[in-house]
Structure 1
Amino acid sequence: MNIPAIFSFKLGIWQSLVFVALFVWVYCLVDIVRHEFKNDGKFTWLLIVFFLPILGSFLYLSTEKSRRMLKA
């Protein structure tokens, strides 16, 4: 059986995308656990990012500055 080279290339692209998405998801979860948040939003962000990995990670990273507690 001869597998076309294009199949291997497409498979490699998909595997790379999945690896990046997994890395970003784990990064967001670790970042949530390590930092303090305004109004006790840590549990809410954990639920959002855990159950909606791609969308939750994108939302978490896009609102990073506004959600953290400022340390004086």
Structure 2
Amino acid sequence: MLSITLTALLAGVFVDANYYQRAQASSIVPVGSGSYTTAPPSNLTLPPNTIYRTANVTGPMPTNDWCPSCSPRCWAV
């Protein structure tokens, strides 16, 4: 039982050390009681570059409300 506990403990230390090393690759900036990193995570997928809209839509499309999520469905021809 002791060997299982030690193995689990060592595995946890290895995982935490690996996470810490990856986190150090991008600087961690403390702010107040939180923090942020200066680089995106390695598994980040970027949003598509194509904006689906008809010629009837002029000017910039708002992106900070619920309406962009239904723009292609509601206003596409």
Superposition TM-score, scaled by structure 2 size: 0.37
Higher relative helix content:
1
Larger Rg: 2
Higher relative strand content:
2
